[in-house]
Amino acid sequence: MEAADLFQKYPHNPLVWDEMHAADSVRPQYQKVFDFLLDIPADELNKKEELAKRLFMSQGITFTVYSSGEGIEKIFPFDIIPRIITATEWQLIERGITQRLRALNLFLKDVYHQQFILKDGIVPVELVYSCPHFLREMQGVNVPYDIYVHIAGIDLIRDSDGTFYVLEDNLRTPSGVSYMIENREITKRIFPDLIPQNKVLPVTHYPNILYKNLVSFSPRQVAAPNVVLLTPGIYNSAYFEHTTLARLMGIELVEGRDLVVENHSVYMKTTSGLQQVDVIYRRVDDDFLDPLVFNPDSTLGVSGLLSAYRKGNVAIVNAIGNGVADDKAIYVYVPEMIRYYLNEEPILKNVPTLHLSKPDDQKHVLANINKMVIKKTNGSGGYGMLMGHVASDKEIEDYKKEILKDPRQFIAQPVISLSSAPCYINGKMQPRRIDLRPFALCGPSGIEIVPGGLTRVALREGSLVVNSSQGGGSKDTWVLA
Amino acid sequence: MLSRVADSLYWMSRYMERTDGILRMLKVNHHSSQDDPIGFTWQPVLKIFSNLDDEQIAGMEMNGRKVLQYMVVDRDNPNSVLNMVTKSRENARAVQDNITKELWQSLNEFYHVVRHERLEHSLKSDDPLTVLDSLVRQCMFYYGVTDNTMFRGEGLSFMNLGKYLERAIQSADILDVRFSDLSYDLEKSTDTTYWKYLLLSVSGYALYLKRYRSGFEARNVIDQVLFNVDFPRSVLYSLNQLHRHFGRLKDEQNMEGFAKVDFIIGKIRSKIQYSDVHSVNLTGLHNYLKELTTDFNEIGNALNQSYFANS
């Protein structure tokens, strides 16, 4: 097969921003990779794809799907062609996310203390109090350095003119960062020359920054605070990520059953007795953290954890109760928060969003449902969404009933067309829709974002849903110097 | 170290030791089936390593391919190599941050090998020895990686506890089943190939020839498998190693637990150290081995209570 065939018939859709192709040329940031791909025989590329798969499998970068009592190892699909971001684009992203996070942290502090923003009528009170993730248990609790969102994975998408939009703020336990790190490790193996040639900025220091921050949150002033990562256990689909992060930071990976609270302090059960825990980087949802306060059936958490937290004897990362800030109905007000708290104009735009509890919005959405994407305010993972432009009449009717039952639970957005990037699929380059999740770390010395992130790909042709649970994959994400 | 982590390392190691033991047994019994097609049966293997009832065993004992299939890749046999390796890897997966990446990858690769349909196919149609050897090599690789990469510390000590306790149990079991054939009569004369295969299955043949010269005698075989301190699969050697590795866990934070387990290991070790073939014969071999099994379980329980936070 001729190499040039790779890009033959690469379709150009004027309504979609393609990361590699402008109307009739290749964007400069992709030129080197493009030239390289033109020179490479197709079977060479197939070999690289095979190598990538083998590496993921043998290193156990997999998640386990349990069916009929037996675990089957699956790889999170990986496309070998990197997604490239220019230095200028990155600067904007970095500034925009930093600004947004500053405001969101202030919002969380405010909403769990004096509630100025509610009293001033910027964010409607009823919206906050009707949010299931607004936890009254957090009222008046002080957290170290007033930081609530220590780790954020804010999802960005690009409209047809290339403008970046914030699609959602993930402020609870965002996942995927291990894939940012491992995808890069794989790329180093399959395209060893391209990374230095293109001056791609490294991402490997992410765990170091995170560890430095975690240590600084320790309530006890001791030489070596005891930092642990709390995982729901090996059956969790993100378990690989938990072990990777624990290993790279050299901290203990614990499960709820390894911890015990005594006299409002948290201890772990070790072979030489109980040992006090200072900082918990938890990957367990709020609801399961403490059966005495939240879901009483949870076995993933630790009884009494919240009391230890409220006493300030242990730091929990991310803070409890952050869900009120990444609720999709609250999301609408983030630009207002930025103006209110920081007196700045938002750098990154929100996707225009209608909230179905507002009568006018509801009327408009129900009338134009074919042009809308409707989501649950507390949903994630791409579950419970309605894509109006492709849904059947029956699906729409059923969904409408759901909405009318509890309109607070739903928001609607116009169908945004997400940018596309070339992917190597079935021996050809084909455009697929992508998003971007950079990972921002918030510590006492400020907000740091490693240059990169997780680019998720909707691998099905024409699909706009990038979630891994819905057939999405990922790419290595390059930020150029 | 977290108690749960210690527990997982211990079991990861035990399951691998058992895998290695099963593979050796299968290999040697396969040899045996070729040399002595008339007298040979798979019954002793199935008796030690499966939960099959007599009727099921009878249906399988003369069919080598079927036994290999059952012992290596059968998903319903809790003691199949596939299930052992899966359990070992599952334990490793839960403690990845406490073992080296190389060790994790060696187990992960082993796991993918035993689950691949290629293995099941070769067990049906290829030379069984080649297949078993390739699996034994995976075990050897695991041991080598462990030895050369694992950091010297608590974790490795718990792995060694699992390894040597399991090894002692295996060696005692093999003796028990083999001698049950002879109704535990040490004087009963038997074909020398019988002893040869027993020794081969515990990698003790070469040592036996050098040490005992006099030809094959039941009392010498027992001496080697139970008491020979230079033989790395003897029960006494395993207990000595167990004691040595346990000694490294001495720690001021858990003196009470340490003293308790140390006492039990020391007691059992002395008991074996100060027995010989003669005294075993007085007690009766079967009774003696049964007592040992109870003793080994006592060690396991004591570790559970004092170190793994399971009561």
User: How do residues A140-175 score in pLDDT, each as one tens digit?
Assistant: 999 999 999 999 999 999 998 899 999 999 999 999
- For B105, the closest of A59, A254, A257 (CB atoms) is A59
Nearest-neighbour CA in chain B from A138: distance (Å): 30
pLDDT value at B91 more than 60: yes
Is beta strand A428-434 parallel, antiparallel or unpaired with respect to A455-458?
antiparallel
Are the beta carbons of B253 and A273 separated by less than 8 Å? Answer: yes
Which region among A1-15, A38-52, A440-454 has the lowest average model confidence (pLDDT)?
A1-15
Answer whether residue A359 shows pLDDT above 50.
yes
Three-class SS state of A15: coil
Beta strand pairing call for A354-355 and A410-414 = antiparallel
Report CA A326 to chain centroid distance, whole Å: 11
Q: Which of B4, B93, B95 lies closest to A257 in CB terms?
A: B4
Q: Which pLDDT score, from 0 to 100, does residue A376 have?
A: 85
Tell me which chain B residues have a C-beta less than 8 angstroms from the C-beta of A255: 4
**What integer is the mean pLDDT of B223-233?**
94
What confidence score (pLDDT) does residue A69 get?
67
pTM of the model: 0.89
**Of A396 and A227, which is predicted with more confidence?**
A227
* Per-residue pLDDT tens over the stretch B239-281: 999 999 999 998 878 888 899 999 999 999 999 999 999 999 8
**In angstroms, rounded to a whole number, what is the distance separating the alpha carbons of residues B153 and A294?**
39
Per-residue pLDDT band at A272 (split at 50, 70, 90): confident
Q: What is the mean pLDDT of residues A380-389?
A: 76
How many contacts does A have with B, using Cβ atoms within 8 A? Answer: 69
**What residues of B are in contact with residue A272 (Cβ under 8 Å)?**
1, 251, 253-254
Q: Residue A200: which pLDDT band, with cuts at 50, 70 and 90?
A: very high
Q: Which of A30-34, A427-431, B196-200 has the lowest mean pLDDT?
A: B196-200
Does residue B68 have a pLDDT over 50?
A: yes
Residues of B in Cβ contact (< 8 Å) with A259? none
Q: Tell me, what amino acid is at B90?
A: E
Mean pLDDT of B8-23: 95
Which letter, b or e, does each residue of A443-453 get, where b requires 16 or more Cβ atoms within 10 Å of its Cβ? beeebbbbbbb
Residue of A nearest to B255 (CA): A272
- Searching chain B, which residue's CA lies closest to the CA of residue A251? B97
Q: What is the mean pLDDT of chain A?
A: 91
Compare CB distances from A272 to B86, B94, B254 and report the shortest one's residue. B254
Omega within 30 of 0 (cis) for the link into B79: no
Give residue B311's pLDDT band: very low, low, confident or very high (50, 70, 90).
low
Mean pLDDT of A331-337: 95
Query: Are the Cβ atoms of A57 and B97 closer than 8 angstroms?
Result: no
B307 CB neighbours in chain A (<8 A) are 271
A353/A355 Cα distance (integer angstroms): 7
**Interchain contact, B251 vs A246, CB within 8 Å:** no
Go through A324-357 and write b for each residue having 16 or more CB atoms within 10 A of its CB, e for each that does not.
bbbbbbbbbbbbbbbebbeeeebbbebbebbbbb
Contact A233 B94 (CB under 8 A): yes
Chain B CB contacts of A269 below 8 Å: 2-4, 309
Confidence of residue B33 (pLDDT cuts 50, 70, 90): confident
Give the residue-averaged pLDDT of B151-161: 95
Render pLDDT for A386-421 as a digit per residue (tens, 0 to 9): 888 888 888 888 888 888 888 888 899 988 889 999
How much is the pLDDT for B296? 96
Locate A147 and state its tokens. 């930081």
- How close is the nearest chain A Cα to the Cα of B307, in Å? 5
Cβ–Cβ gap B2/A239 under 8 Å: no
Report the length, in residues, of chain A: 481
Q: Residue A1 — pLDDT band, cuts 50, 70, 90? A: very low
Could you say which of B2, B6, B154 has the minimum Cβ distance to residue A268?
Answer: B2
Q: Give the pLDDT confidence of A29-55 residue by residue, as tens digits.
A: 999 999 999 888 888 999 999 999 999
Asked whether the predicted pLDDT for residue A2 surpasses 50, the reply is no
User: Closest partner residue to A271 among B3, B93, B109, by Cβ?
Assistant: B3
Residue in B with minimal Cα distance to A71: B86
* Sign of the dihedral defined by the CA atoms of residues B133, B135, B141, B144, in that order: negative
Q: Look at residue A3 and tell me whether its pLDDT is greater than 60.
A: no
Please, which pLDDT band fits residue A251 given cuts at 50, 70 and 90?
A: very high
For residue A256, what is the nearest residue in chain B, using CA coordinates? B4
Residues A90-99 have pLDDT tens digits of 999 999 999 9
In B, minimum Cα distance to A235 occurs at B94
Q: What's chain B's average pLDDT? A: 90
Integer Cα distance of A111 and A127 in angstroms: 12
At B190, the pLDDT band (50, 70, 90 cuts) reads low
From chain A, pick out residues whose CB is under 8 angstroms from the CB of B154: 271
pLDDT exceeds cutoff 60 at A19: yes
CA distances from A283 to A104, A142, A280, B186, B274 (A): 20, 21, 9, 61, 54
A271 closest CB neighbour out of B90, B94, B154: B154
Residues of A with Cβ-Cβ distance to B251 under 8 angstroms? 271-272
Vertex B300: Cα angle to B299 and B305 (nearest 5):
95
Query: Which letter does DSSP use for residue A141 in this model?
Result: -
